[in-house]
Amino acid sequence: MNELIQLNLSSLTGRKYWRSLNQLADTPEFRQWVEREFPEGASELLDSGSRRTLLKLMAAGFGLAGLTACRRPVEKILPLSKGVEGYVHGRPLHYATAVETCGVATGLIVECNDGRPTKVEGNPRHPFSLGATNAFQQAMILDLYDPDRARQVQKQGVKSSWAAFEAWWLEQSAKLGDGAGLRILSPRSTSPTLESLKAEIAKKYPQSAWIEYEPVNFDRVLEGARLAFGQPLQPHYRFDKADVILALDCDFLGLDTLSAQPVRQFASRRRPEDGQELNRLYAVESNFTITGAMADHRLRARASDVAAFALALARQLNVTGAELNVVNQPADRERKFLAAVAKDLLAHRGRSLVVAGPRQPAEVHALVALINQALGNAGQTVSYTRPPYQPSDSLAAVQKLAEDLAAGRVSTLFVLGGNPVFNLPANADWAALFRKTTVVALAADENETWKAATWQLPEAHPFESWGDVRALDGTASIRQPQIQPLFGGRSALEIAALIAGRAERRGHDLVRSFWASQWGAEAEAKWKKALYDGVIEGTAFPPVDVKADAPRVFAAVQVALKPAPAGVEAVFYPSWHTFDGRFANNAWLHETPDPMTKLVWDNAALLSPATAKRLGVKDGDVLEISSGGRTARCPALVLPGHADDSVSLQLGFGRAACGRVGRGVGHRVESLRAASNFWFGPAEIRKTGATCRLVTTQEHHTLIEPITGLKRHNIVEEFTLGEYRERAGHGKHESHPPTDLFPEFDYSKGYQWGMAIDLSACIGCNACMVACTAENNIPVVGKDQVARGREMHWIRLDRYFSGEEDDPQAVMQPMACVQCEKAPCESVCPVAATAHSPEGINEMAYNRCVGTRYCLNNCPYKVRRFNFLNWNKDIPEIRKMVFNPDVTVRMRGVMEKCNYCVQRIEEKRSQAKAEGRRPIRDGEILTACQQACPADAIVFGNINDPESRVSKLKRQARDYSVLEELNTKPRTSYLARVRNPNPELV
Amino acid sequence: MLEAVLSKLGLPGYEPEAARQKVYGVIGDFDTPEDLLRAIRTARAAGYTRMEAFSPFPIHGVDEALGAPRSPLGRIVIVFALIGLTAAVLLQWWTGAVDYKLIIAGKPLFALEPSVPIMFELAVLLSAFATVLGMFHLNRIPTYYHPFFNYSRHAGASNDRFLLAIEAQDPKFQADEVVRFLESCGSRHTEVVEA
Amino acid sequence: MADLAIDPRVELNPPLVTGGMTYSDVTDKISSIVEGKAPKQWYIAMAFAVPLALLLFACLGYLVATGIGVWGNNSPVGWGWDITNFVWWIGIGHAGTLISAILFLFRQKWRTSINRAAEAMTLFAVACAAIYPLFHTGRPWRAAYWLFPLPNEFLHMWQNFRSPLMWDVFAVSTYGTVSALFWYVGLIPDLATLRDRATTPIRKTIYGLLSLGWRGSATQWRHYELAYLLLAGLSTPLVLSVHSIVSFDFATSLLPGWHTTIFPPYFVAGAVFSGFAMVVTLMTLARWIYGLENLITMKHLENMCKVMLATGMIVGFAYGTEFFIAWYSANQYERFIFLNRAFGPYAWAYWSMIACNVIAPQFFWFKRFRTSIPAMFILSIFINIGMWFERFVIIATSLHRDFLPSSWGYFTPTWVDIGTYAGTFGLFLTLFLLFLRFLPSIAISEVKGVLHQQVSAGHAVHGGSH
């Protein structure tokens, strides 16, 4: 039976799955299975055809809408008021909240339409969001409505209830005594409330142990600080203050930071107009990350050689005073690079910054701390505070847990979220170990851990439950729910309270009482303010003034840093699609291409062209990667600019127990990942002979044409700082487009919308793509259809490599409809379905479109998207709750494309009108992509207003239009990418 | 009204005036186009004026011999061509520049250049209809009754025979005389044809 | 003007009607095809054609029910086989009109025995072509009437008459209508012949009704001939306009490889080229099925071979010009697109096109090939294939690699693409076979006219029979 389902579902990924859902649901086996594994009604839920479901969900929808309203008196959650008094039907409400990933918290604002959370935005008040978000935060909303979420309390797969569980816990806890047999395994949490509960539990069960584990963690950073300063400290970088930045295997613009802050700070120094000196970024890395793509100089090095580089640098800068012996001699190119970097750093004492990635051993972090200190950066560009959570060596802790479980010393194991069975180090067979004891698993979906557990408890989504978090600098926020738990899930907090034997069990009471205890007198007012602002004032930790102990670091380094063994090594990275697997059932993220490889719906073993050639490997060849007797299979993908003799693997794929979207997507590499090579380690690579079709949205095309070998201009413009200054001297260059055959249409009156995109700032992080997907109800088409070139994204990120294949540079270019004033698409449409608004927006009338696709052919930017099939067919009703009510869901056979979020323009227009017909203020309207952008690279506004930000940008010397010579007069123009190379390295 | 329609269709009992007379005329049957032409010329010389020739294919010179006027079809067609042309201009101008204005690619609401193809096509379309319907009208087709079909050998006219009819309306018409006359011209089979 | 039927200047040597046929022989020979039993070959052909036609309807049904996604079309290649086939079929049609109208105006008597079939071919080709503009749209149920200037229920919007697709709508529908009228007018006298020969009441009624009571009187012939002349005069600029306008779909766009002023003449020449190839293919078949050697003589076929040679050269010249202009324009995108045609991923299609359209017709320099039925049959088929590739190359190669390298793609057809195309052949053949079976496939009265000139020019002919 189960095989059969596996069979059915494994064939179903993304688009395909949505479409064949009906026919699937109709096979009797599937119905049975559904009935068994899901609560009653689930089968109708899956069968989107059923009228009953429709009514039920409409009812549910309204019910929920009501619920949020009617529970407000009981548990007060306050809207980030936008002058809305009370509740106006159809007008969205915005609530501040916060989420955390791997112990990194970010403040958010969630838009709710009639009680449905529909869109996530950053909270401008939150220091680590600054109003922006990353792709994952944008996509979280989809997980809320995932029909495959855990829905039902179960005991070994048999339907049960919370009451039954609590009853069981009562007698079980009685047997626990001092808790010698009690273990609690949870993801990294920064929640102060949970911290207090932990303390209570520790008091109640002195012998128990609480283990925090994250497959992607920053333990080594804190450990490095402990080495350097004697105490674990959280480093805080000021990229906006640094003129010279060296990133050692640190993707601080991408997946190694989970908040917008560093990006915003870094980008603020990439705009030559601002008067400040342009910063210069050096990157040393094995994988080609988006940080590497932003770097002015990039050195390819295996992850294990980065330590050697750091050491060599430390020696060059003579930071320890003593003579460090460099482990292995760097090659000429490296030496040249090293010398230049060292010189540059020294030239910018106190205004430079060296950062190392979480993959690097503690010693490297210690060394980096020492270097920053030696360069006088401490207190300037880098400061330290206590970490937002109790640091612990989670690897050691889980090792210990494995031993305890094996030895049968554990009677009860709570797993409060996460998916440890899937992503714990492969040293032990965790599924088997879990069966040796009573495991209570709180899980968001029916994942591997859920399957291995005794008690299976549905976890509430962060948007469904109360909680609190601390940002990296300690700033605390209340996490307020946006909606009643859809499937009766509970939060880790609530389970912890149960374990601690607290009287109050509900998240709201727990959080509220904790903070009340902190605030004392004016708790009520502060509580309201905290909910309103999304941040709690004065909770940030003060920076600690510490001095790195050079000799100790020296000693540690001498012992720890051995010459890296030659040969191929495997490095583990989180993935842009699933992060560490937690987003494995999120179709939006699967369909959003990896920024560098442009791969969708898969992970791959990334190799450098040279290594691939040496191993005789082509794209899609399935490799067997083995290390220490453990193996993983993964298809190869050649990535220009990747370090040689290194293979980059992305975590979080090949989920066996997962929803229908993510099941069987990609290949699991966690099986290769043990404590010894947790981040990287030597590995053997073998071709299996099998192949796997990898689908990318963009080939490795450069701007150099094949056949002719000519470079294409007027697409991406790049200057060095020198060239830019020269150009700026002459003012904005005016090219001379051919004179028009007929009089211009008069766009001089009223609002004239336009956009400027800064290629110097854009880091290509995908946030805009997912934000657009969420805002504009953009459908998911699935791997197969993407392979046919039918992806639907209104904004895409074009990635162009330049330079030689082995060590290229890359540039990202967000490309959406540029709203040509002389739109080639308009004149060819026979039914006038696409025409211009008087405000200069190229609008699509979906219900007029007959779908000739002529406009698509005639669009030089190829930003138009056609509904080749009915992408929205068979979407489960619950999944439909994520739709933005302000945007039409397009039917089959019509064309669609970006329209500058016209619904947002109209919203502000009517608001301005309501507020006494005042003009719309500059910056009042934010397009979805602009609002999400952590780099603030996208600026939208009225180009008729010379004072508007967008007008000012368009006057910059580096402003240009893509394919200007076509004279299409785009409203979206681009600011050229300015690089700041070190003269000594060019 | 109905009368008119039925008689146009020439249904039995509603035959048109001409047909109601008991004699349509005399028809003779010739071997070759040349014989036919000769016969026509002789008949004209003999003073006959109301004649009609029937042949499987058009014969050069028959019209002159019969002294028939030129066909007015050309003039009809010109008129319709102009109507088509104007209609096209009005259609494109009114829909685009008057009734429903849209900014399309920043182009003028109406311009002559992009209107030319449709102007041309509509002109041709209407001319073609005018040509065919005009020809039908001038030839009085469809008419499913004609006394000519009472001639026993009328089928020859669509195969390989060349017929000459001298009609009853001819002032000089005398059935027996005409029969003799046609035979003298070399008619293989001469008949007085009932109307 | 009205005396075109006899023109002493006409070159009558070698005779266009051979075997010493008389008027009644002509009548008998042609009518017998309609009156007698259909030969075995006809049934074989139908057995092949009808299932194919059904496949077409199956594919279209599936397409409408599921969406354009069942084809290989994608972004950037928004048009694939759909428009390729549309242009190809429209092109096929052109020879018909050319033969019946232009050759008529040029007093090319040799057209008489082939023009009827050629016109029928035009009609059926246009019918096949017309399928695509409708069904290639995402929502044909809307396109079916939103593309015509009717006040509609939605927003009371009108069409955008700047769009070449609108021009297409007018051009193709006008072309179809006029061709149909021309064809029917030509049929009237022959239908009268069939009426007069009819033995069964059913035939008598049907042909009687269709022939509209035609009598063949001098008066009727007078108006008739002028009408025919006028239709010919109208069709001639029309046929030139149709493919010019089809070419505007591409020429007025801004896509490199499409945005080309040479397209109108180049497309028309190509249309005539492929059209004649198709006529030769069909005529050689009809000749074989019905033994019409005396009516469709070697002179006819040889002339058509000459036309193919000429138009083939024009097309080849156009290919050359395109490359020259691309180079001469110094436009990077323009240069690239043409080099990409010849050496890019679609080189295979490009070189097949060259082989079929430029190399193949060269054989017609030699009389041996111009007068060998098998040779011209095979070559004509090659030319048809070549002209299909020409359209495919223009559409696919220009689209798959345009301005932004990030959006480059490739087009691969699906079984539905192939089924739809094969299906149109089925429809075309079915219609054509039905035409051969039930209507005079050769213009009886016109052939007699030509025969009469041979008589007067002194060629042996025995007088009418009694």
pLDDT tens sequence across A848-859:
999 999 999 999
DSSP character for A393? -
| φ/ψ (deg, to 5) at A256 | -90, -5
When CB atoms are compared, the residue of A798, A829, A851 closest to C163 is: A829
Contact assessment for residue A682 and residue A569, using Cβ atoms and an 8 Å cutoff: yes
C-alpha distances (whole Å) from A334 to each of A281, A301, A558 are 16, 9, 21
A782 Rama class: left (phi>0) / alpha (psi -120 to 50) / beta? left
pLDDT confidence of residue A322: 65
Looking at the DSSP assignment, which residues form a beta bridge with residue A154? A159, A456
**What six digits make up the tokens of A321?**
């005073």
To the nearest whole percent, how much of chain C has pLDDT over 90? 66
Band of residue A303 on the pLDDT scale cut at 50, 70, 90:
very high
pLDDT confidence of residue A1: 34
Q: Which residue has the tokens 């005594």?
A: A177
d(CA A83, CA A94): 11
User: Does C466 sit within 8 Å of B60, measured CB to CB?
Assistant: no
Residues of A in contact with C249 (CB under 8 A): 854
Chain C residue with minimal CA distance to A823?
A: C254
- The string of pLDDT tens digits covering residues A110-169 is 999 888 999 999 999 999 999 999 999 999 999 999 999 999 999 999 999 999 999 999
**Between C455 and B54, residue with greater pLDDT:** B54
pLDDT confidence of residue A62: 45
Band of residue A329 on the pLDDT scale cut at 50, 70, 90:
low
CB of C459 within 8 Å of a chain B CB? The answer is: no
CB of B99 within 8 Å of a chain A CB? The answer is: no
Rounded to an integer, the average pLDDT of B177-184 is: 91
d(CA A912, CA C290): 81
d(CA B77, CA C444): 27
Q: Residue A585 pLDDT > 70, yes or no?
A: yes
Band of residue A6 on the pLDDT scale cut at 50, 70, 90:
very low
B-contacting residues of C 233-252, CB under 8 Å?
234, 237-238, 241, 245, 248
Sequence-separated (6 or more) residues with CB below 8 Å from residue A427:
A399, A402, A674, A675
Residues of A in contact with B107 (CB under 8 A): 742, 822, 827
Contact assessment for residue B55 and residue C216, using Cβ atoms and an 8 Å cutoff: yes
3-state DSSP assignment of residue A139: helix
**What six digits make up the tokens of C408?**
């480059």
Contact assessment for residue B148 and residue C217, using Cβ atoms and an 8 Å cutoff: yes
d(CA C257, CA C271): 19
Chain A residue with minimal CA distance to B110?
A: A742
Residues of C in contact with A861 (CB under 8 A): 403-404, 407
What average pLDDT does the structure give for chain C? 88
d(CA B179, CA B190): 6
In this complex, which chains have at least 3 CB pairs below 8 Å with chain C? A, B
Instruction: Please calculate the CA angle C386-C392-C393 and round it to the nearest 5 degrees.
Output: 85
Contact assessment for residue A876 and residue A147, using Cβ atoms and an 8 Å cutoff: yes
pLDDT confidence of residue A23: 40
Total length of chain C: 466
User: Does A832 sit within 8 Å of B104, measured CB to CB?
Assistant: yes
CB of A790 within 8 Å of a chain C CB? The answer is: yes
Rounded to an integer, the average pLDDT of A635-639 is: 95
**What six digits make up the tokens of A917?**
């017909």
CB of A830 within 8 Å of a chain C CB? The answer is: yes
pLDDT confidence of residue A698: 87
d(CA A485, CA A205): 30
Q: Is the dihedral of CA B43, B44, B47, B51 positive or negative?
A: positive
Instruction: Please calculate the CA angle A311-A259-A94 and round it to the nearest 5 degrees.
Output: 175
Q: Is the dihedral of CA A566, A568, A570, A575 positive or negative?
A: positive
Rounded to an integer, the average pLDDT of A933-961 is: 94
When CB atoms are compared, the residue of A743, A823, A837 closest to B105 is: A823
Helix (H) or strand (E) holding A118: strand A116-122
**What residue ranges in A123-271 does DSSP mark as E strands?**
154-155, 158-159, 182-186, 209-212, 234-237, 244-248
Looking at the DSSP assignment, which residues form a beta bridge with residue A650? A573
Rounded to an integer, the average pLDDT of A283-289 is: 95
d(CA C246, CA C253): 12
pLDDT confidence of residue A746: 87
When CB atoms are compared, the residue of C159, C254, C344 closest to A860 is: C254
**Between B182 and C290, residue with greater pLDDT:** B182
- How many other CB atoms are there within 10 angstroms of residue A339's CB atom? 15
In this complex, which chains have at least 3 CB pairs below 8 Å with chain B? A, C
Residues of A in contact with C406 (CB under 8 A): 698, 701, 796, 798-800, 813, 815
Helix (H) or strand (E) holding A844: strand A842-844
Residues of C in contact with A893 (CB under 8 A): 67-68, 137-139
Contact assessment for residue A658 and residue A447, using Cβ atoms and an 8 Å cutoff: yes
CB of B103 within 8 Å of a chain A CB? The answer is: yes
Q: Residue C12 pLDDT > 50, yes or no?
A: no
Contact assessment for residue A139 and residue A576, using Cβ atoms and an 8 Å cutoff: no
d(CA B150, CA A132): 96
When CB atoms are compared, the residue of B102, B106, B108 closest to A821 is: B106
Band of residue B68 on the pLDDT scale cut at 50, 70, 90:
confident
d(CA B111, CA A757): 36
User: Does A837 sit within 8 Å of B105, measured CB to CB?
Assistant: no
d(CA A577, CA A664): 14
**What six digits make up the tokens of A505?**
């069990």
Band of residue A710 on the pLDDT scale cut at 50, 70, 90:
confident
Contact assessment for residue A262 and residue A764, using Cβ atoms and an 8 Å cutoff: no
- The string of pLDDT tens digits covering residues A667-703 is 999 999 999 999 999 999 999 999 999 999 988 777 8
d(CA A217, CA A234): 13
User: Does C78 sit within 8 Å of A857, measured CB to CB?
Assistant: yes
**What residue ranges in A135-212 does DSSP mark as E strands?**
154-155, 158-159, 182-186, 209-212
User: Does C254 sit within 8 Å of A831, measured CB to CB?
Assistant: no
User: How many CB pairs below 8 A link B and C?
Assistant: 211
User: Does B159 sit within 8 Å of C193, measured CB to CB?
Assistant: yes
Residues of B in contact with A970 (CB under 8 A): none
* CA diameter of chain C: 81
Chain A residue with minimal CA distance to C75?
A: A789
User: Does A894 sit within 8 Å of C147, measured CB to CB?
Assistant: no
d(CA A862, CA A963): 12
Q: Residue A18 pLDDT > 60, yes or no?
A: no
Contact assessment for residue C161 and residue B115, using Cβ atoms and an 8 Å cutoff: yes
d(CA A246, CA A293): 14
pLDDT confidence of residue C36: 84
Sequence-separated (6 or more) residues with CB below 8 Å from residue A541:
A385, A386, A388, A473, A474
User: Does C249 sit within 8 Å of A894, measured CB to CB?
Assistant: no
Amino acid at B127: S
Rounded to an integer, the average pLDDT of A398-422 is: 93
> Which of A401-405, A623-627, A801-805, A969-973 bottoms out in mean pLDDT, i.e. has the lowest?
A801-805
- The string of pLDDT tens digits covering residues C170-212 is 999 999 999 999 999 999 999 999 999 988 999 999 999 999 9
Alpha carbon A337 to its chain centroid, in Å, reads: 31
Band of residue A24 on the pLDDT scale cut at 50, 70, 90:
very low
Q: Which residue has the tokens 């990418």?
A: A977
What average pLDDT does the structure give for chain A? 87
Instruction: Please calculate the CA angle C358-C364-C369 and round it to the nearest 5 degrees.
Output: 130
Give chain B as a 3 state SS string. CHHHHHHHHCCCCCCCHHHHCCEEEEEEEECCHHHHHHHHHHHHHHCCCCEEEECCCCCCCHHHHHCCCCCCHHHHHHHHHHHHHHHHHHHHHHHHHHHCCCECCCCCCCCCHHHHHHHHHHHHHHHHHHHHHHHHHHCCCCCCCCHHHHCCCHHHHHCCCEEEEEECCCCCCCHHHHHHHHHHHCCCCCEEEEC
Q: Which residue has the tokens 């054989």?
A: C363
User: Does A827 sit within 8 Å of B104, measured CB to CB?
Assistant: yes
Band of residue A63 on the pLDDT scale cut at 50, 70, 90:
very low
3-state DSSP assignment of residue A374: helix
Contact assessment for residue C267 and residue C243, using Cβ atoms and an 8 Å cutoff: yes
Q: Which residue has the tokens 């300015």?
A: A978
